[in-house]
Structure 1
Amino acid sequence: MLVLSATSAFGQLSSASLNGVVRDSTGAVLPNASVVLRNADTGVERNTVSNGVGNYVFTDIPPGRYTLKVTAPSFTTKQVSEFVLAVNQTATIDVSLAPGAQAEVVSVEATSEQLQASTAELGTVIATKQVNDLPLNGRNFTQLLSLTPGVSPISVSQNNMGGRSGGFAAPIAEGSSFSFPSINGATNRSNYFLTDGMNNFAAFLSTYAVPPIIDAIQEFKVVSHADSAEFSSVLGGVVNVVTKSGSNQFHGSAWEYLRNDAFDSRDAFLLPGNKKPAFRQNQFGASIGGPVDLPTLRNNTFFYFAYQGFRYSQPISANILVPTATQLAGDFSALCTAGFTNGVCNNPAQQIYNPFTTARSSSSSSGFTRQPFANNIITSNLIDSRLVGFIQKVYPPAGAYNAATNSNAVDTDPNTQSQNEYNVRIDHTFGQKDSVWFRYSRIESTVVSPNNGNLPGLLKNDAIPGRNWGGNWVHTFSPSLQLQALYSRTKVSDNGVTKMKGVDATAVDQAAGFSPDFASNFSGTSGWLLPSLGLGNNLVSGGEIIQKTPQATDNHQFSLTLTKLKGSHTFTMGGSYITSVFSSPISYESLGFSSTQTNDTNGNGGHSLASLLLGVIDNANRRNVNEKTRLGGLVSGFFQDSWKATSSLTVNYGLRYDLTLIPPYGTIDTIGQQGGIETGDPNYTTGTYVLQYPPPPCSVRGVAPCIPSIMLDASGNAVACNPATQPCLPPGTLPPHVVVDPRGRISHNTYTNFGPHLGFAYRLGESMVLRGGAGVVYDNWAAVSQMSQNIEGDWPGIGQLIATSLNKPGTGTAPNGPPTVTAQNPFAGSGSAGIPAPTPFNSGGVNWFYDPNIKNAYAYQFNFGIQRQLNSTTTVTGSYVGSLTHRANIGGMYNTALTPSPAPNPQSRALFPYMIASFYDRSVGFADYHAFQMTLNKRFSSGLAYQVAYTFSKALDENDGWFGAEGKNVVDPYYPRASLSPAGYDLPHILTVNTVYQLPIGQGERFSTKSHAVDYVLGHWQVNGILTVRSGQRYSVTDGEDQANTGNTGWAGYEQANLVGDPNSGSCPSQNGLPGLPAHSRGCWFNISAFAKPKFGTYGNLRPDAFQAQRYWNIDFSIFRQFPLWNESRHLEFRAEAFNLFNTVIFGTPHSDINSPSNFGLVTSAANSARVMQFGLRLVF
């Protein structure tokens, strides 16, 4: 009897394993039988013998095609014909030998599709044929992740575009599709990427570091919910890509792929009269693999090399809106289309007001009133001519206004990208006991982008090198004992500079009167930088940035795994250490202007440009930091046993320990530098500010970071030292509520992350398996690197200053109504003159802080399923999959008022009134996921392969990600359970179907004319496709104001609207004399009358992400024509690929801020791209 089944490969996620039992014809086990495994491509053989209970095992087998031979004295030889071993698979071949002469060989066949009969893990292999032939826009492998059940392609992360235009991950190709999915209900950041089992992970943004070349990929697999303790370091999926190895024959390919705007369809949301964006794209390369044919290396050493180049150019013609000369002269009369009565606009929403006339008033709901500017004209004596000069120097002059595009200027800077990628792999076998391989992957990318939609002439130049290399050594001590050692290195840098062409920033900034402590004195550049002006009202913005990142990703990986076969047990144990370090000096500054400062104080009227002319700012930001972290990473150890309890039952159990070493911020060499080690972080649980490494007094160092001289006011709060009024405290005295961490670090590691795992697989006959498993898994990587550097430049430094809601009547910067903070020096008193503010508890202290006691999220994961083999190549699998996540991240504005109320001064209702509200992350959240997942899988045979994957699921969480910047915002951070609702990546229904089909026409096929010439013309066609159907994306209906009056003014969108009707029926109200559109139309996705603003001082009655956009469906299709050259193994291939074949328009999420009535309910973008065509030519040999 011969049975071949699959399990997870304990010890080698990137390779395969083979085991089984040798018996005689009576069923008795046969010890000491010789077992030989032979690679059909390389001819390399591996030998072992069965142990005392007849068991044998091979581990760390490169995926590929193999044969097996089993011999024993006085028994016939059993030869198992060619079968396939896939990545992360263990095949079980039980062999029965009959009595007879050993020279007699009996051949049997192994099925090419195997049941997963020894483990309960979830995972789907994407094989070589699918990787090479399915249509991929830009040939990025992450698009194939969505072919796996449980994968939601919706991303709410900051990394939903990858490193497309530079950043903290190796860039993807412009114009290509990139997937950053949620897997089995985990966040987008909760995945992990391996290449050949080696770490290939960009920890900052939680994606791959160096992209593999498609033609160098043999196959890959997404593993999740494993009952093995070895690979459980993230809550989502472990994505492992296996690269190709050479064989005894030379094989290779060369290719060219072409994209051109002439082949593509027009975007449905492109305004009439606008042309399609022009672009040119070429992707080309070559690969070759084979033996190293030298006398001492022949039949033992093999290589594979691949190169890919990418060139992209897109001339930009972006319509932008810039200030007009009339506006810069202070004339906003055109803003009022309703006409004036006695100099006041008849429409209050079109009137601008004088902020310097703000006065208290009991008759106003805000408590303040302002005087309107007569006829919306600002008097010349109030206009800041220096800021007007800045606009005139940096902004292009306004042309004629185009109402259709809401623009009066055009940005024509091109967008270009050049990439070169290399991959080389060497495999070598030293006899029967040792084998090694080494791989080196490299990418060089240069991206020059105009920041489309920003200021013309403002170009971002990113030079991004990436490296991923390492090797693996396997030593076999005996047939029952094996050791594996692995080392890898991953490093990605980003030398990013954004500068304005032809503008002298020093002269322009000084003429504008900007303080050097705001616009200069940067560590990343010797000069001044142009600040970004955030003008609102659809006006263009943008500023200069210096961000050279030598260590965006910099990791070492060390791993040892020992496998021991003893009786019916396979014991695996081992450990690994993956280092993590980050450094990124960054310099920039920005000014934000809002209509708030020139409205009537009750939300009516105002204009951001009017606020700029008056020099009255709303917010400001300055970063001047030398970001560096100390060494961190992950230390892991595990023990695992796979126990063949009976011939039908396998039980897997193990224990894993993870120690996430959160990288402490700052290094000793940054002492005295802005954004260095001398920084701090608030603790909103204890009401303290924790200093990591205290600097000397400012009287000693003279410049920040330093401890300023202070005295205490009547309330006991720290204020700037003024000896003329009262004695100052001794130099170096810390302000009240400021403490020093004696360990010299902010974060606390968690030392209790033990994760038990248990699973079983039970074979019900020869064609069905029942399996289930459960385990505790910790999220060891998600956002750890980014979080650890978020405190850079904070008090007592002035490297990172953020001020929000400036000049708002009744607040600290406008206590009596009129504004006090100017655009020229927005941080006066909060880091001016190079000295920090007296205390960290002021408006300059807002940042993306985190709880010093933050911990890894963990989940109870479980699954139960059944798999049936339908025929020799096809299986169907159905599984229930669930997880309960605890200690999930809750990010948002903390130290806001504990309850909503219309009472003034919400800060007085905060838990710690002396501390300002700020962004903050805590591990106090909860999430759960429940799903039914089904897969129908046919491996490639007889010219056909297909996979059908369906998921019916519900994913709930309280917050989708980190920093209050990813996905939905938690309504009340002190009671996150009130925000438990569908996750931003929750898609109840997901169906994907992919197929590769060689048409059976031509010589040797089912349909043949028997004429070689005719068959040559009609034959050699192949069609491929991917069908995707899924539920619509989630979105919230919000109120962009702090309507609950909790003091959460720094982050709009936490407040949910009130639902007062049925949003899915009826129509939107008529506008401009036109009838209202029905719900679920482009101009009215929901009935806007079904929503209302919450009463001031209350929360809305909705929960986040309560609604869904349009259901999504798409077909990507390709057709190939092969032209054989000499024989079938050498051919030229023409490819035509269409993405969104039928040019279907799927509406994106609508505008859903009830506080923006002009576009509330309006859909202005598509969730998919218009049809894109790609043509390719490939030479295969």
Structure 2
Amino acid sequence: MTLLLASGSAKAQLSAGSVTGIVRDPTGSVVAKASVTLRNVDTMVQHTTVSNDAGNYVFLSLGPGRYALEASASGFATKRVAEFVLAVNQTASIDISLQVGSQSDVVTISAETEQLDVSSADLGTVIATKQVNDLPLNGRNFTQLLSLTPGVAPVSVAQNAMGGRAGGFGAPISVGSAFIFPAVNGQTNRSNFFLTDGLNNFGSFQSTYSVPPIVDAIQEFKVVSHTDSAQFGSVLGGVVNVVTKSGTNDYHGTAWEYVRNTAFDARNTFLPKVTPFRQNQFGASFGGPVWIPKLYHGRNKTFFYFAYQGFRYTQDNDSLLKVPTAAQLAGDESSFPTQIYNPFSTRPDPANPGKFIRDPFPGNQISSNLIDSRMVAFVQGVLPPAGSVLDSVGDNAIDTTPNHQTQNEYNVRIDQNFGQKNTVFFRYSAINSLLTTSGGLPGLVKQGSIPGRNWGASYVHTFNSSLVLQVQYARTTNQDNSATLFTHPPANLDTTVGFSSSFVGGFTAAGGHSLIPSPGINGYASGGENITNVPKATDSHQVSGNLTKIVRNHTLTLGGGFTTNRFESPLSYASLSFAGGQTGNPQNPNEPGDPLASFLLNVPDGANRRNVHETTRLGGLMSLFIQDSWKATSKLAFNFGLRYDRTFIPPYGTNATIGQQGGIETGDVDFSNGTYVVQKLPPPCTVRGFAPCIPGDGTLPAHVVVDPRGKIAHDTLTNLGPRVGFAYRLGNRTVLRGAAGIVYDDWAAVSQMAQNIEGAWPDIGQLIANNLNRPSTTSATPTTSALDPFAGGGSGLFPAPTPFNQVQWFYDPHIKNPYSMQWNFGVERELNSSTTVDVNYVGSGSRRLNVGGYYNTALTPGPGDPQARAPFPYIAPTFYDRSIGNGNYNALQVEVNKRYSHGLAYQVAYTYSKSIDEGSSGWFGVEGQSLTDPYNVAGSRGPSGFDLRHTLSVNMLYQIPVGRGMRFSTKNSVLDYIVGNWQVNNIFTARSGVPFNVFYGASDLANTGNVSWAQYDRANLVGDPHSGSCPNGSPVGSVNCIFNTSAFAVPAQFTFGDSGRDAFRSPSFWNLDTSIFRQFPFWGEGRRIEFRAEAFNIFNTVILGTPGNDISNLSSFGKANGTANSARQLQLGAKIIF
């Protein structure tokens, strides 16, 4: 008898496993109509089937757990297969050879043979219950375990890298926990999908989970990628498939508490002390048969499992801030390291047509008559006064606003077996997270609430031994409601300063109240008021089903489903940004200017206002698939599948928002023909009297059209994804596997892209201005004031005459789903009864990736007005997302897996890989992109923002073999009790450094109309950045000289730099987390009290982070700004297990 467990596709649900095999007689001939019974050892639930004419039998829709198998037929002795473990999404292939004899004769055989994958070729690693429970996890967030899988890059360039802690519609995450938002097999951080019990648990805005599972309620989980099963799809990266625990026939439970505080932690190298904090994480779980005294006993039939977890966190705050001094606010900028210039003296350079010159401020002293007293009043009203200098970077103020988080999580699951033909389960998961933290300034407090809910239900009906039906339903919701407000706002600041009502007034989410904008002085502390109510960050329903039919050697599955998607968010805020370019030398980029001087002179670089009621109409995904798993021979299995995905991009705006700012009456640019597309036509401004409206009498401006469909996006209808895979067994210890397929990304950033066009013309709900007050042929001197930064675009009540001078987060109306052609080939070898080694080549070619950033910039760098050199000169440069990016990934992935036995378990995962793309490592131009030239995307081809050349993770569980029943025993029961029951657990990770650019960010040096903060203009490479020392004398690799800054030069004006995109790396990373347990058995077998001590970064290793990479910022260029890891943290815990 051979037992081989596989991640096969003979499954009726995405989280379930299956058991299959062939029944044979002693001659090797198949035995038809043999009775085969499978029993769950923990629940005693039995399933019985018969082998078909080909001798095949299949059990489908099995949860992970311990099982036993029995087979019998007339004229043969009954054969029993001893207990074996079935993991999530696995197929146990158990071929049974019957012996001649009476059915009353019973032959029992072992199931110790290692678990090789002999039925599919997908990639993935099962993280088992013991690993989930015992490995050290900082904050008990399960995503830390994702890095144990080959192909997982545990770094993120996405906006949601910090989850809910960073705000912005994030997933609920405990403040003190580690959180990994990985890139899987060369795909973007957003290109993963999260399932709980095989059902949707995906936050469609944040692109991560909606409700985090409680660690002690996890049975096990698996990251599935590059699968040959058409049941999986809709994302290019990994499907994270978490299975929760079910109750059994015995009552079991746990209770726990984990504690962290100031005394346990080491000091961060860049901080003067450990910030005082207290963290408590506690909870309990309990499960078993449902029992109602004298009424009902659910043994063998009805089971429950309940878990609760609470989290409490309080942290004092001593954040150091840099604020302007009184002398600086009076115009004394003599401490600024380079010369600053008077923007009001800007004039064309008569000797160099197309260039400009300015007069310097002598001694960097700004004349008092040029300082805008209103700006001084503004900054004095919101920023704290400057004190003495507190550190080497000039910080001179402290924010002491404390941080608090209160979080409660719940999980309840019910499993019901109605005989052998019908089973059902229901699960409800919930989280409520309340967070209070600093808004960035003293007295500016952010209060947020992030509740989430996830429901899941599944029904399985077995018609007969060859036909099984499953129907599933899931409901997922998330909210993210927050308000950042001054506790004691400066009285009448808006009127004192004189901000226009079109900039700071009439906010929807704030009830019309004025909100204090953020001053946004680059290099100085900043913060402003905002209100974000997101009642529907995620709002989805999932209905799915599949039908599986066994036909001789084929397992055929036909299925599909529909998942809805909605979004809603009233949002209000205003902000300013001041850069150095307006007070820099337009002839010399080495004199980039002073942002504070620009502020005092009231010459802003940019502004942003959002006053919107964001909504989307019904969107979602429809999927259909057919799968054939063919067991061609006893050694060879094939999988063939075809999947069709139809994404319904949620159309922006509902009819309920007609007439509202940020409502359905908005538009988008189509740069394929230079038109502006209005989604829903509002009445003329002369009729409605307020925006949104069409200016004047309602006549549409030139190049403006209305989409008769009432929506902007055009859905893609051709997303067909074939799959093929094989597994071939070479003897009993080796399996060859290979697979290829095409997958589509239907979920990444779909909600955020839909809402990006909110408030656009003919609305005024979202106003964005960039590159303000830059000299041009039409106006050399500044023209825009921070008090009314959008004055040139409209009157404050009405939109501008045309839509073509606005800056918005537009997207191509014909944007298409990204897709990836994926392939893998590998070999798995069993080393012994508990250990396997798996070696795979993994590759992919991804197409139609998102490329964002500014578009309709000048076609080439050069002097003069850049807009005049754009493809459509009547349209201002703006953000624009297109599906034109390409990416490639190639990797060698090696995994060694030792299952837990004899007190030891370990996994080793190593990946040698290279991920390359064309400025398309994420979304919207802000996630690892930095596109130099939007008309030459291939010119920005380089390592992906998440590319890690080498990645290694090793985890180990080791029970020290001392004590009763162990290898080393004192032979004294009392002494054995004292010295025994110790366990050590480790997670070791090491990886290459993260890619980064070196760029010039002070101004639009190439003069293309691009925004400087997008890292688009990379520096010139003129030397070796990896050798020598910096001009400050520090050797390369030290804190103040991560790379040789002399190896870079500022590009000449009107040129692009020549250094490559993501051509440089931060320092390599390694870390060791360790825990040690002491267990005290009590009151019989299986009951114990466990004390834990866990150390994260146990050796307190300092790994320097990505250095300052803006060559125009001399104070930080080439220097480490912090660490890539945390200083050592200790966590103590106690746990009762029964």
Q: Give the TM-score normalised by the residue count of structure 2.
A: 0.97
Give how far 1:27 is off: 1.3
Aligned residue for 1:1109?
1066
Match of 1:414 in 2: 402
Q: Counterparts of 2:82 and 2:432 in 1: how far apart (Å)?
A: 44
**1:509 paired to 2:469:** no
Structure 1 CA distance for aligned equivalents of residues 442 and 512 of structure 2: 21
Q: Report the equivalent of 2:754.
A: 788
Q: State the partner residue of 2:875.
A: 915
Q: Which segment drifts farther, 980-989 or 293-302?
A: 293-302
2:349 aligns with 361
Counterpart-to-counterpart distance in 2, 1:392 and 1:767: 74
CA-to-aligned-CA distance 1:372-413 (integer Å, 9 cap, x gap): 445544444443333333333322222233353512221111
Matching residue's letter, 1:1099: F
1:578 paired with 2:563, answer yes
Q: Distance in 1 between matches of 2:451 and 2:817?
A: 31
For 2:634, the equivalent position in structure 1 comes to 647
- Counterpart residue number, 1:187: 188
How many Å apart are 1:333 and its aligned residue?
Answer: 5.2
1:650–1:762 Cα contact (<8 Å) kept: yes
Q: In the alignment, which residue of structure 2 is the partner of 1:599?
A: 584
Query: Using the alignment, how far apart are the partners of 1:537 and 1:504 within structure 2?
Result: 22
Name which of structure 1's ranges 906-915 and 305-314 shifts more when overlaid on structure 2.
Answer: 906-915
Aligned to 2:443: 457
Match of 1:725 in 2: none
Is 2:1012 aligned against 1:1047? no
Q: Which shows bigger deviation, 313-322 or 186-195? A: 313-322
Deviation by residue 1:825-846 (Cα, 9 ceiling, x = unmatched): 111131323110011111xx11
Counterpart mapping for 1:668-683 below 5 A: 668-683=655-670
Q: 1:969 to 1:606 in 2, by over 3 A?
A: closer
Aligned runs of 1:358-437 on 2, under 5 Å?
A: 358-363=346-351, 367-373=355-361, 375-437=363-425
Instruction: Report the counterpart of residue 497 of structure 1 in structure 2.
Output: 483
Higher deviation after alignment, 205-214 or 597-606: 597-606
Q: Counterpart in 1 of 2:789?
A: 826
User: Quick one: which amino acid aligns to residue 215 of structure 2?
Assistant: I
Instruction: Measure how far apart 1:684 and its partner are.
Output: 1.4
Residue 572 of structure 2 aligns with which residue?
587
**649-658 vs 319-328, greater mean Cα deviation:** 319-328
Task: Quote how far apart the aligned CAs of 1:24 are.
Answer: 1.1
1:1121 is the counterpart of 2:1107: no
Report deviation, 1:125: 0.1
In the other structure, the counterpart of 2:1036 is: 1079
Report the 3-state secondary structure (helix = DSSP H, G, I; strand = E; otherwise coil) of the residue aligned with 2:712.
coil
TM-aligned CA deviation for residue 366 of structure 1: 6.9
2:374·2:497 contact (CA, 8 Å) conserved in 1?
Answer: yes
Question: What is the SS of the residue equivalent to 1:130?
Answer: helix
User: Counterparts in 2 of 1:27-106, with a 5 A limit?
Assistant: 27-106=28-107
> What residue is the counterpart of 2:771 in the other structure?
805
**Does residue 226 of structure 1 match 2:227?**
yes
Superposed CA deviations along residues 1092-1114 of structure 1, whole A, max 9, x for unmatched, are 22222222222211111211111
Distance 2:572 2:328 in 1: 31
AA of the residue aligned to 1:821? T
Query: What SS does structure 1 have at the residue aligned with 2:1086?
Result: strand
Question: In the alignment, residue 670 of structure 2 is paired with which amino acid?
Answer: N
CA distance in 2, matches of 1:870, 1:373: 75
Unaligned 5+ runs, structure 2: none
| Distance in 2 (alpha carbons) for counterparts of 1:995 and 1:864 | 27
Q: Say whether 1:1148 aligns with 2:1105.
A: yes
> What is the identity, as a one-letter code, of the residue corresponding to 2:546?
T
> Deviation at 1:819?
1.8
CA apart distance, 1:576:
0.8
Question: 932, 940, 949: which is aligned to 1:988?
Answer: 949
Matched, 1:970 2:970: no
Match of 1:1130 among 1087, 1091, 1113: 1087
1:147 corresponds to: 148
Q: C-alpha displacement at 1:275, in angstroms?
A: 2.1
Task: State how far apart, in whole Å, the 2-side matches of 1:609 and 1:989 are.
Answer: 43
Give the drift of 1:1063: 1.4
The answer as to whether partners of 2:926 and 2:1014 remain within 8 angstroms in 1 is no
SS across alignment from 1:841: coil
Shift of 1:261: 1.7
The Cα shift of 1:898 comes to: 1.8
Partner of 2:1023: 1061
Deviation at 1:364, TM superposition (A): 6.6
Shift of 1:2: 3.6
Cross-structure match for 2:514: 529
* Structure-2 residue corresponding to 1:626: 613
Conserved in 2, the CA contact under 8 Å of 1:804 and 1:1050? Answer: no
User: How far does residue 909 in structure 1 lie from its aligned partner after superposition?
Assistant: 1.4
Q: Distance in 2 between matches of 1:888 and 1:605?
A: 35
- Among candidates 485, 504, 508, match of residue 519 of structure 1: 504
Q: What TM-score, normalized to structure 1?
A: 0.94
Per the alignment, residue 657 of structure 1 pairs with: 644
Residue 872 in structure 1 maps to residue 833 in structure 2: yes
Rounded Cα–Cα distance in structure 2 between residues aligned with 1:817 and 1:202: 47
Contact 1:520 1:528 in 2 (8 A): yes
User: 2:386 and 2:837 mapped to 1: Cα distance?
Assistant: 63
Residue 1039 of structure 1: SS of its match in structure 2? coil
AA matched with 1:552 = A
Do the aligned residues in 2 keep the contact of 1:320 with 1:408 (CA within 8 Å)?
yes
Q: What secondary structure does 2:518 align onto?
A: strand
Go from structure 1 to structure 2 and tell me whether the alpha carbon gap of 1:1124 and 1:671 turns closer, same or farther (over 3 Å shift): same
Alpha-carbon separation, structure 2, partners of 1:978 and 1:378: 42
- Measured after TM superposition, the shift of residue 984 of structure 1 is 1.1
In structure 2, what is the equivalent of residue 687 of structure 1? 674
SS in 2 for 1:423: strand
Q: How far off is 1:334 after superposition?
A: 4.1
Aligned partner of 1:16 in structure 2 is: 17
Provide the residue aligned with 1:712 in structure 2. Answer: none
- Judged with a 3 Å threshold, the aligned counterparts in structure 2 of structure 1 residues 876 and 20 are, in CA distance, closer, same or farther, namely same
RMSD, matched Cα: 1.6
Q: Percent identity?
A: 60
1:836 matched to 2:821: no
Shift of 1:594: 2.6
Q: CA deviation at 1:1045?
A: 2.5
1:473 to 2:459 alignment: yes
- Which amino acid in 1 is paired with 2:789? P
2:537 pairs, out of 527, 552, 559, with 552
1:263 maps to: 264
What per-residue deviation string (whole Å, max 9, x for no partner) do you get for residues 559-594 of structure 1?
001000011100001001111100111000112223
Matched, 1:944 2:904: yes
Distance 1:54 1:856 in 2: 44
Q: Residues 109 and 735 from structure 1, CA distance in 2 versus in 1: closer, same or farther, beyond 3 angstroms? A: same
| CA–CA distance in structure 1, aligned partners of residues 847 and 583 of structure 2 | 45
C-alpha separation in 2, matches of 1:1133 and 1:950: 32
Give the match's secondary structure for 2:547: strand
List per-residue Cα deviations over 1:207-240 (Å, max 9, x = no partner). 0010000000010000000001110221100000
Pairing 1:104-119 to 2, within 5 Å after superposition: 104-111=105-112, 113-119=114-120
Between the aligned partners of 1:768 and 1:691, the Cα distance in structure 2 is 61
Contact 1:621 1:801 (C-alpha < 8 Å) held by counterparts: yes
Report deviation, 1:445.
0.5
* Superimposed CA distance per residue, residues 502-521 of structure 1 (whole angstroms, 9 cap, x where no aligned partner): 1166x221221111111111
**Higher deviation after alignment, 1123-1132 or 17-26:** 1123-1132
2:292 corresponds to 1:331 = no
How far apart are the structure 2 equivalents of 1:334 and 1:1097? 30
User: How many correspondences in the alignment?
Assistant: 1130
1051-1060 or 223-232, which moves further after superposition? 1051-1060
Q: Deviations over 1:712-737 (max 9, x none)?
A: xxxxxxxxxxxxxxxxxxx2111111
Q: Which one is further off, 396-405 or 462-471?
A: 396-405
1:533 and 1:593 in contact (8 A); partners too? no
